[in-house]
Copies of this chain bind each other. A is one copy, B any other.
Amino acid sequence: MNKTETLELLQQIKDGSVSPEEALNRLTLAPFTQVGDYATLDMHRELRQGQKEVIYGEGKTKEQILGIVKAMRKEGWQNILITRLSPQKADYLKQYTALFYDDLSRIGIAAKTELPQVGNITIVTAGTSDLPAAKEAYYTACALGNRTTLISDVGVAGIHRLLNHLPKLQKANVIIAAAGMEGALASAVGGLVDCPVIALPTSVGYGASFQGLAALLAMLNSCASGVSVVNIDNGFGAGYLAGMINQAIEKGHPAD
């Protein structure tokens, strides 16, 4: 609830059109919904943040996930993202609700609808093995209404493969660079373009990759400007942030 809305509400109390008790309720109770004893849905996130809440599937029972999806659908939500959703839980959900499911990235989308897709997000991966995280980013960005392209297997060990895609890269509003192992792709891309690069470290590798730590550290230390980093394998986070930037650019300068 922003300043203007708050002032308006207070004015309504003064006018008598809203009672103080009701106002208190609106100030504190409205923006979320209790689901069972395990979840507190943030129903105002769409207004406050422009996007809907996502369900992190790991560590929740299939019944809890279904409960949350039902509560969201009741509010009329669509394109409900469920990340880290195991095939078993996906099968369970499909019995009760329409569900798109990609088993490489283990992402599910309930109540999927086609949104008009705007702008230009490009996702590049260093190798084929980075696809699970990259596809999580891809489906997230698509579901949130962003035009998105995925280019795979163009890592720095054969830098000319990347250079070949340079024209495409230079037209993007924002780029996601997904890489495990030494994570050098983010720096290489960052040095070639003038748009924001979201570095998505993946857990691909072995030994001293320490489940993605090597790629993460490399990306944090990128000598290229315009690069920022999300958590290891956090394809959702990369796709969400890319969408946020892409749509802001498409909308252009907000009126002050």
> Which A residues have a C-beta under 8 Å from some C-beta of B?
2-4, 6-7, 10-11, 13-14, 16, 19-21, 23-24, 27-29, 31-32, 37-40, 42, 44-45, 48-51, 54, 56, 58-60, 64, 68, 84, 119-120, 126-132, 150, 152-161, 163-164, 166-167, 170-171, 173, 180-184, 186-188, 190-196, 198, 201, 203-234, 236-238, 240-241, 244-245, 248-254, 256
* Chain B residues within 8 Å of A208, by CB: 212-213, 216-217, 220-221, 231-232
Are B27 and A20 in touch, CB under 8 angstroms? no
* Chain B residues within 8 Å of A222, by CB: 157, 181-182
A84→B167 CA distance, assembly (Å):
35
A244→B172 CA distance, assembly (Å):
13
* Chain B residues within 8 Å of A211, by CB: 207
Nearest 5 interchain pairs by C-beta? A252-B252, A207-B232, A59-B129, A184-B184, A214-B217
A207→B56 CA distance, assembly (Å):
14
Q: A161-B32, A173-B254 are in contact. Are A182 and B60 (CB under 8 A)?
A: no
Closest chain B residue, CB of each to CB of A217: B214
A163→B224 CA distance, assembly (Å):
17
Counting every copy of the chain, the complex holds 8
A-B contact pairs, 24 of them (CB 8 A): A3-B167, A10-B10, A10-B24, A14-B19, A42-B158, A42-B161, A48-B193, A51-B194, A51-B226, A56-B127, A58-B129, A59-B128, A59-B130, A64-B128, A181-B221, A182-B221, A184-B218, A196-B245, A205-B221, A207-B232, A214-B214, A220-B229, A225-B244, A250-B253
Are A60 and B129 in touch, CB under 8 angstroms? yes
* Chain B residues within 8 Å of A56, by CB: 127, 129
* Chain B residues within 8 Å of A244, by CB: 194-196, 225-226
Min CB gap A119→B, angstroms: 7
Closest chain B residue, CB of each to CB of A130: B59
Q: Which residue of the partner chain, among B156, B190, B219, B233, contacts A223 with CB atoms under 8 Å?
A: B156
* Chain B residues within 8 Å of A241, by CB: 196, 225-228
A182→B126 CA distance, assembly (Å):
16
